[in-house]
Structure formats: structure tokens, C-alpha cells
Chains A and B, each alone.
Chain A
Amino acid sequence: MVSKPDISVKFCNLELENPYLLSSAPPTCTGEMIMRAFEAGWAGAVTKTIKPDKTPVYDLKNRFGVMGFENKQMIIFENIEEVSKRPVGTWVNEIKEIKKKFPEKALIGSIMAECKEEDWEELARVVSEAGVDMLELNFGCPHGMPERGMGAFIGQRTELIQKLTKAAKRGSSVPVMVKLTPNVTDIAYTAKAAEEAGADAISAINTVLGLIGINIDTFEPMPTVDGMSTFGGLSGPGVKPIGLRCVAQIAQATNIPVSGIGGITTWKDAVEYLLVGAGSVQVCTAVMWRGYRIISDFVDGLTNYLADKGFSSVRDIIGKSLPKLTAWSKLNKDYTVVANINKDLCIKCGLCYVACLDAGYQAIKFEQGKSAEVDEEKCDACSLCTHLCPVPGCITWKKVAKQVSV
């Protein structure tokens, strides 16, 4: 038997026992919570974002919303929560306590201030000196804070990213990671700006600006605060494709480590992030949903996966899929396949038929009570049927010689 794979990673200066960090969010609201998370097995945590005492923040009463789908209660989560209300002094004391009790765990201090360099420099100094191992600059919060020139307001302006990253670097005694917002046209561009300004790492994504829903009985948008609402930040399973894309783009564009965030719900999601270049991953919504205890499966699932795949270290998979990501124009236009239905597996639901009929190439034959059949001449290999067939492995690809184009 292969020896147990090593799942520890080195992320910048951090020696992490596993790649899993709690992101800056409700699960890291207090020192007591962070310490319980460490006991549960998380390798590190990013504190809920700390802001200068002079900057007022509020916690609206009811600040979350969810979007479900069919049997799923939640596939996208929304929040309009602000950063930590707690005084810097409280955090300083708690950071000291956490580091004393858990010296081997990674503690990252998330900070945010108004667009004044001296504020960022000062906060970076105070929090880094309290004993965190790294700072994370919150340039990403898309709700509330941007109205006051903070969060995504900064992350959407490269000149501010650079000015404030530099300011934080001046004040900080530890490496500085910049947390970016996906609410930009090109996150590779903002990531490069941060790298140029001296950021030691990037984390992405913060939440995606959205509107989780409208109550069609009351006409009130959600989450509803005394009858009114505002746009909020989306997280959870549904934002994973956005996060993956952003992390891959950042990994392609920069030479500094990326901490992958966004919709990571299971170890499989984490593996995907690692494969596109994340050097560590951060989790929020999944923990909000089921608690710190999910770390045990995150760890075990990853370990078993690596063993099954024959990897001795998780480091071997970081970025492994990146070379397979290229421009659309570089994809092979000579590659030709057709859909192929396994008659024995087909349950005769006719779903592929109606899909190909109404949204494909009228390439499937179907009669009630009989297995569906592909007309290979007509199949354009769009793949629609393969995805909606309810039977796993029933519709697969068959390679054929290239058709003469018309």
C-alpha cells in the first residue's frame, strides 16, 4: 500500500497542515470561534474583516437570503452583512490569545479602511504586530462598504488597489495578501495591479454582486429589512464556476500564490480549485451551513482522493489543469464525435428526444416504451442530451471520422 499522501502545503510564508482555511466571514467572527475551528482541524483562518474604530459599521437585522432549486434548499447564498463591528483592541487581544494557544495554525488578519493611505498603513501595523502570520486586504466586499469608498470600490480601481496595497505593505510586518472582487470586467488585470504593487499573494473571490430574489407576494426584494432591500453578495455552490474561472485567470496572469475561494462545499470543489492553481482554499458558506465539523471530510476526502490517484503530495496537483486551459481559438476543430445511447441503460424517458428536437439538431429517434436512438448523420455533438439524460453513463461519445463541412 502507498503511504498516506501528504496534504500539507506551503502558501507564501505559511506552513499549512492542510490547504483549508476559513475565509473572513461569520465563522471567524471571534477568537473563541476561530479557536474552536482550529480544534476541529482547520489549518488556518482569516479573521472577519477588522476596520478602524472610527469607521462605523452596522449589522442589519436579517441580512441573508437564499436561492434554492427543486429539492435543494440553497444553491446560492446572499448576504448584506458588513465587516466586523468589534474594536481593534479586542481583536489585538484575541489574536494574541489565538496565536499563543495555536502557534502552529495560520492566522490571517483581514483588514479594511477608508481610502486613506495612512489609515491602511496604521491598521496594517497594529494588526500585524498583534501577531497574525499574514494580512488580507479586503478590496472585495460588494455591498454597503463600496457606498462609503471601501471594499469593492477599491477592488474595482487599479490605482486604489496599488496605492493602498503599498500603504499596507509599509505598515505590515508580515506578508500581505490582496482579496479581490469578481465584480470587475477582468480580474486578471486587477490581480496584476496588486502584484505590481507588491502584494505577496492574492485571494479570490469575494462575493458576487447580486439580488437573490423578490418576494412576489409582498413585492419586497430580499433580504428584506423593514420592507426594503439592497443588492448583496452571492456565495455558496452556485458561485463556484465564477470563482474557479477567476482563480484560473489569476494563476495564469500572475506569479504570486492564489488562495481560492467561492462556493467550496466539498473536498471535490477544493480539488478543482487546487487543479487550476490555488495554493490554498478558503471556505465560508459551507461552514455557515453545517459547521466547522465538515473539515474532517474535507481532509479525509482529499487524502483518499490523492491516494486513489497515486499522488504522494497534494502539492503535485496544484495547477495541474492549468495547461489544459487555453483560448477558444486554439481548440481542435477537427475533433469529431457523436452521441451514443446505451440501449440497456436507457430508461425510455424521452428527455433527450425532446431536447434535441426543440433545442438541438432533431437527431434523436424515440418511441414510447423503446430506447432512444441517435441518428449519427444528424448529431452535431452539442452535448445537450448527455447532460440531461437522468441515467449516468447512458449517453456517451463515439469517435467518428471528421465530417465534411458544409
Chain B
Amino acid sequence: MSGRVHTKTIPPHERISSFAPYVSNLDDRLAVYEASRCLMCFDAPCISACPAGINIPEFIYRIKTGNFYGAAKVIRESNILGGECGYVCPVERLCESKCVRRNLNEEPVAISMLQRFAYEKEKLKGLVKFPKSRPKNKKVAVVGAGPAGLSAAYELARMGYSVTVFDSNPRPGGLLFYGILPWKAPWSVPESEIGLIKEYGINFVTNKKIADLKSLLKDYDAVFVGVGATKSQKLGIPGEDLNGVYPAQEFLYSVAKWLMGEGKAPDLKGKRVAVIGGGDTAIDAACASVRLGAERVYIVYRRSLAEMPAVPYGRNQAREEGVEFLLLTAPVRILGDKRVKAIECVKMELTEPDSSGRRGVRPIKGSEFCLDVDSVIVAIGQKPDEDLLKSYGVKTEKGLIVVDENFSTSIKGIFAGGDAVNGGETVVEAVAEGKKAAAAIDKFLSGGKNPKK
């Protein structure tokens, strides 16, 4: 029996003065200790719970034996963004949620901490590079250099395809830079992993927005689309167009840009901010507001804590950093002339659970109240750019690209994955979909036959 390791964290009042990471990594001794908590389960449920299917007991066993680089190899083999994922995966609902240690009434093995550790060790020696297959004389275009596109591009390049990646941003990475802020993962992590991907001889074309896919198909044998879901959903309540109302994605995008030295972040110094929503993005937007100097930050969420989709880890972080949770509270309208002055909310009550077990909510009549705020950040979900998908001509459903089990869209030769397909999941899910789509593209380009290596 042994308890899980907890590393040092910078106390909340200190950490909020910067966007830097605040959780320290495992040192060798703690890593080996934590690794020895892993039972090395057979057909381990943690592997099934990892979208990328990393052989978790294998890499942890290698840490236990002191074979740190070998551990990194196991991770990299399954997940080309394994370092980033070690930092940003919401493991409480992925691998760690299924760890067998929990059945022993213990905390799960700190899988992501160990994954980070392996990555940091790997970086000291140079990230693991695998051999490439012989060139295949076929060209694939990848639209979008987020995790999904990067993963597909890497897999295809490794198989020997000639790959060109287009991205409308000045740098590849998608939300790894323009969404996930550095307190979760220092940007040096995606930078190093994108550097590794580039070593496979992929052609990156940045600042290039692709609006037409069919013409791409003239120059390329297949196309993978990983354009993400970067448009925030709208609340659809009065006042949403006032100054001081920010869609979460755009808000975080501008914070990221500002951290890169471009443009300005919204000025929240001494301001009161209401973040609408209960997901991980709402938490991030709230914690970013705290770091921008906001005086009071509220999270306004319609349901109760039990229904909140954000992982407990993030909820704790927000609470520690002084974010106030207004639960069972829904916005009714945003008030103000030109600028936001307040937000009117209504208290909600839970209804009986529906067939899926999730409880609904309904407003309590007469419970309306006003919250004085200077800014409202709307974080109730995201979707892909509707006009873009329309111009692509691929079949969509509820604003998302429709794909079959091979990640093939309605247009032959065009495949898709990541947030644009799943509506906004995780980095690791995007990586996994990019990987599976690459395998399908390979099959497609080799005429359905299993290509000889």
C-alpha cells in the first residue's frame, strides 16, 4: 500500500500574478516511487481509457526500472503529442478515472505526472524519432495544424507520404498556443513536439487560410481537414453585443496573442467578470481573468456542481484562485448602454433525472437578480466556422463535419477529425482521430490494400 505523490504547487495568491505553470514536476525519486504504485495490470483499463491507447503500464514500468528514455519511447509511439498531453489531459475523466488503484480505495496512479516526467527526461536527450518508411510518391494536404492535423501529418509523413500542412495562423499548433494557456503546459512543450514533427520532412504553409477543398484535391491525392471548432456558441440573450462581452474562444485567443507579444489583452484590471458556462473552457477563462487582474470573477452555471463538466482539478484551481461559483444560476440578459454594466440572472432548480440520468433544470419564477459586472465571457461551447464548412461543401450535422468510421467525409478523398468533427473534445482525442484518419488515408491511397512497408 502506498499513497499517491503530490508535488509542490505555488500558492494561489502568488501564482495568479503570472501565467506560468505552478505545479512542479516529479523528481527522479518521486517518479520511481509513484511508478511503483502501478500494479502493471493485465489488459489494463487505463489503456482503454486513453484515446491514444498509450501502453501505460509499460511506460510506467520503465520509469520504475530507471529506463526513463525507454518510457518516453512507449509514449511517443502512441501519441506524437505525448508530452503536451502529459500536461493538459483531463485525466480525471480519462486514464486515471479507470485506474485499478481506485478499486483499492486509493487515489489513482498519477499517470499524467509520470508522463510529464518521461517527456522532461526525453527532452534532455532529444525527442524520440522513429524511422520513416520509403517515400510513397503520393501527396496529402492537411488543413489545420492543430493537434488533429499535426497528428495526421506526422503519421502520413512517417508512412512515406509527401505532406503539406496549411494553417491560417502564423504558427502551427492551433489551440495548443491559441487556447491552452501556459499555466497548464509551458509553450516550450508544444514547440518541442512540433519541432519533432517538422523533422519528418513535412511542408508547413502558415498564414494560409484554405477556403476551397476541391481545388486542393487537384494537387493532392487526399486531404485531411482539422480546422477545429474555434467559434464560441452564442447565449442568444439580449445584450450579447454590448462592449465587454467576449466569446471565450476569442477572449483566450487575444490573451494568448498578448502573451506572445502581439496586441492587447482585454483590460480587466480591477474589473468584475462573469464567465457563463461550466466546462473546462469556462474555468480557463475565469482563471485567465484572475491573472489579468480582475477584482471579482464569477462562474455562472445553470446546473449544480455534480453536473459540471469541468474536471475537479480545474474547479479546485479556480476556487483556490478566488473565483466565485454561482451555481443553479442562468443569465437572462446583459444590461448596459454601450458597455456592460450588469447581468441579470435567474436561479434554477433541478428536475428529476432524464433517461440518460442527467438532471435537467428549470428557472425559479421570481428569483431574478442583478449582478454588477464590467465584463461577460461566454463559455457555453464552441463549434466550427459555419461559413467555412459551407464553402467546403462537406456534409455537416449540427454544425459539425460528418465522417464515417474511417474519418472519411461525404467527399471522396477528404477526411476529417478533431474538434471540427467531435465538437470540441481534447488534445488527445484530436491526436487519436488524426492517427486513425491517417491510417484510413493510407488505406484509401493504397487502393484498399494493406500497403507493403
List chain A positions with a Cβ less than 8 A from chain B.
70-71, 347-351, 353-354, 366-369, 390-391
Residues of chain A within 8 A of B104, CB atoms compared: 347, 390-391
Partner of A350, one of B2, B36, B43, B64: B43
Residues of chain B within 8 A of A367, CB atoms compared: 43
Among B40, B42, B44, B64: residue with most chain A CB under 10 A:
B42
Question: Do residues B103 and A350 form an inter-chain contact, with CB atoms below 8 A?
Answer: no
Question: Do residues B45 and A351 form an inter-chain contact, with CB atoms below 8 A?
Answer: no
Among B36, B39, B41: residue with most chain A CB under 10 A:
B41
List chain B positions with a Cβ less than 8 A from chain A.
2, 33, 36, 39-45, 48, 64, 100, 103-104
- Whether A349 touches B48, Cβ cut-off 8 Å, given contacts A70-B64, A71-B2, is no
Question: Do residues A348 and B100 form an inter-chain contact, with CB atoms below 8 A?
Answer: yes
- In the bound assembly, the distance between CA atoms of A347 and B41 in angstroms comes to 10
Question: Do residues A71 and B36 form an inter-chain contact, with CB atoms below 8 A?
Answer: yes
A-B pairs with beta carbons under 8 Å apart, 5 shown: A70-B64, A71-B33, A348-B103, A349-B103, A350-B41
- Whether A368 touches B39, Cβ cut-off 8 Å, given contacts A347-B104, A349-B100, is no
Question: Do residues A351 and B43 form an inter-chain contact, with CB atoms below 8 A?
Answer: no
Question: Do residues A347 and B103 form an inter-chain contact, with CB atoms below 8 A?
Answer: yes
Residues of chain A within 8 A of B39, CB atoms compared: 349, 351, 390
- In the bound assembly, the distance between CA atoms of A168 and B52 in angstroms comes to 73
Q: How far is the CB of A192 from chain B (nearest CB, A)?
A: 44
Question: Do residues A369 and B42 form an inter-chain contact, with CB atoms below 8 A?
Answer: no
- In the bound assembly, the distance between CA atoms of A367 and B41 in angstroms comes to 12
Residues of chain A within 8 A of B2, CB atoms compared: 71
Question: Do residues A368 and B103 form an inter-chain contact, with CB atoms below 8 A?
Answer: no
Question: Do residues A349 and B64 form an inter-chain contact, with CB atoms below 8 A?
Answer: no
Residues of chain B within 8 A of A71, CB atoms compared: 2, 33, 36
Partner of B41, one of A70, A349, A391: A349
- In the bound assembly, the distance between CA atoms of A169 and B95 in angstroms comes to 69
- In the bound assembly, the distance between CA atoms of A268 and B125 in angstroms comes to 47
Partner of A354, one of B36, B42, B45, B48: B42
Residues of chain A within 8 A of B103, CB atoms compared: 347-349
- In the bound assembly, the distance between CA atoms of A366 and B43 in angstroms comes to 9
- In the bound assembly, the distance between CA atoms of A351 and B39 in angstroms comes to 8
Question: Do residues B43 and A368 form an inter-chain contact, with CB atoms below 8 A?
Answer: yes
Q: How far is the CB of A389 from chain B (nearest CB, A)?
A: 10
Partner of B42, one of A70, A347, A353, A391: A353
Question: Do residues B40 and A351 form an inter-chain contact, with CB atoms below 8 A?
Answer: yes
Residues of chain A within 8 A of B36, CB atoms compared: 70-71
Residues of chain A within 8 A of B48, CB atoms compared: 368
Residues of chain A within 8 A of B41, CB atoms compared: 349-351
Residues of chain B within 8 A of A354, CB atoms compared: 42
- Having A71-B2, A367-B43, one finds 17 other A-B pairs with CB under 8 Å, namely A71-B33, A71-B36, A347-B100, A348-B100, A348-B103, A349-B39, A350-B42, A350-B43, A350-B44, A351-B39, A351-B40, A351-B41, A353-B42, A366-B43, A368-B45, A368-B48, A390-B39
Residues of chain B within 8 A of A349, CB atoms compared: 39, 41-42, 100, 103
- In the bound assembly, the distance between CA atoms of A367 and B36 in angstroms comes to 24
Among A349, A351, A368: residue with most chain B CB under 10 A:
A349
Residue ID in chain B nearest A390 by CB atoms:
B39
- In the bound assembly, the distance between CA atoms of A200 and B394 in angstroms comes to 96
- In the bound assembly, the distance between CA atoms of A368 and B48 in angstroms comes to 9
Residue ID in chain B nearest A352 by CB atoms:
B42
- In the bound assembly, the distance between CA atoms of A354 and B39 in angstroms comes to 12
Residue ID in chain A nearest B40 by CB atoms:
A351
Sorted from nearest, which 3 A-B pairs have the closest CB atoms? A350-B42, A347-B103, A70-B36
Residues of chain A within 8 A of B43, CB atoms compared: 350, 366-368
Residue ID in chain B nearest A366 by CB atoms:
B42
Residues of chain B within 8 A of A348, CB atoms compared: 45, 100, 103
- In the bound assembly, the distance between CA atoms of A70 and B39 in angstroms comes to 12
Among B33, B43, B48: residue with most chain A CB under 10 A:
B43
Among B39, B44, B48: residue with most chain A CB under 10 A:
B39
Residue ID in chain B nearest A367 by CB atoms:
B43
Residues of chain B within 8 A of A353, CB atoms compared: 42
Residues of chain B within 8 A of A351, CB atoms compared: 39-42
Residue ID in chain B nearest A68 by CB atoms:
B32
Residue ID in chain B nearest A354 by CB atoms:
B42
Residue ID in chain A nearest B100 by CB atoms:
A349
Q: How far is the CB of A31 from chain B (nearest CB, A)?
A: 39
Q: How far is the CB of A387 from chain B (nearest CB, A)?
A: 14
Residue ID in chain A nearest B98 by CB atoms:
A369
Residues of chain B within 8 A of A369, CB atoms compared: 45
- In the bound assembly, the distance between CA atoms of A347 and B40 in angstroms comes to 13
- In the bound assembly, the distance between CA atoms of A353 and B39 in angstroms comes to 13
Q: How far is the CB of B157 from chain A (nearest CB, A)?
A: 34
Residues of chain B within 8 A of A391, CB atoms compared: 104
Residues of chain B within 8 A of A347, CB atoms compared: 100, 103-104
- In the bound assembly, the distance between CA atoms of A33 and B119 in angstroms comes to 50
- In the bound assembly, the distance between CA atoms of A366 and B44 in angstroms comes to 12
- In the bound assembly, the distance between CA atoms of A391 and B41 in angstroms comes to 13
- In the bound assembly, the distance between CA atoms of A354 and B44 in angstroms comes to 12
Q: How far is the CB of B63 from chain A (nearest CB, A)?
A: 12
Q: How far is the CB of B194 from chain A (nearest CB, A)?
A: 34
Residues of chain B within 8 A of A366, CB atoms compared: 42-43
Q: How far is the CB of B292 from chain A (nearest CB, A)?
A: 43
Residue ID in chain A nearest B1 by CB atoms:
A390
- In the bound assembly, the distance between CA atoms of A341 and B48 in angstroms comes to 24
- In the bound assembly, the distance between CA atoms of A39 and B250 in angstroms comes to 73
Q: How far is the CB of A373 from chain B (nearest CB, A)?
A: 14
Residues of chain A within 8 A of B100, CB atoms compared: 347-349
Q: How far is the CB of A395 from chain B (nearest CB, A)?
A: 15
Q: How far is the CB of A67 from chain B (nearest CB, A)?
A: 14
- In the bound assembly, the distance between CA atoms of A367 and B42 in angstroms comes to 9
Q: How far is the CB of A185 from chain B (nearest CB, A)?
A: 35
- In the bound assembly, the distance between CA atoms of A391 and B39 in angstroms comes to 11
Residue ID in chain B nearest A350 by CB atoms:
B42
Residues of chain A within 8 A of B64, CB atoms compared: 70
- In the bound assembly, the distance between CA atoms of A368 and B46 in angstroms comes to 10
Residues of chain A within 8 A of B40, CB atoms compared: 351
Q: How far is the CB of A346 from chain B (nearest CB, A)?
A: 8
Q: How far is the CB of A391 from chain B (nearest CB, A)?
A: 7
- In the bound assembly, the distance between CA atoms of A70 and B60 in angstroms comes to 13
Residue ID in chain B nearest A369 by CB atoms:
B45
Q: How far is the CB of A113 from chain B (nearest CB, A)?
A: 45
- In the bound assembly, the distance between CA atoms of A369 and B104 in angstroms comes to 14
Residue ID in chain B nearest A346 by CB atoms:
B103
